[in-house]
Amino acid sequence: MSSIQRIDNEFKGLFERGVNEERDGQIRSRVNDNGFMQRYGWIYQATIIAEHERINLEQAFELPTIQALNDLSYIKAKNSFDAEQMKKIYGKHS
């Protein structure tokens, strides 16, 4: 059980629910309720990992768990960084 708790703590940011969005100067959380991630989330995440690793989906399913979680952490952080950069770029041009 302590291994699961350690992984849960180390990758806490991956398991946050919803999407934060800024509106009227306030950050709000928006939850996607269509059930896609609940039904197909693992396949979706494995597809993202496969693209990142430049491997096929079957190989992505065989990756060690920590490697897959590290990939997802990197991808999530990079997406946040890219979104922030886009806000800066478009903020200067609006």
Q: Say if pTM beats, i.e. exceeds, 0.85.
A: no
Cα gap 48→31, rounded to integer Å: 20
* pLDDT at residue 46, as a whole number: 97
- Domain ranges for the chain, please list them: 2-92
Q: Which long-range contacts (CB under 8 A, 24 or more apart) does 69-77 make?
A: 69/7, 69/10, 69/11, 69/14, 72/11, 72/14, 72/45, 72/48, 73/11, 73/13, 73/14, 75/48, 75/49, 76/13, 76/14
Q: What is the pLDDT of residues 47-62, one digit of tens each?
A: 999 999 999 999 999 9
Give the mean pLDDT of 34-38. 83
Q: What is the pLDDT of residues 3-27, one digit of tens each?
A: 888 887 888 777 665 555 555 555 4
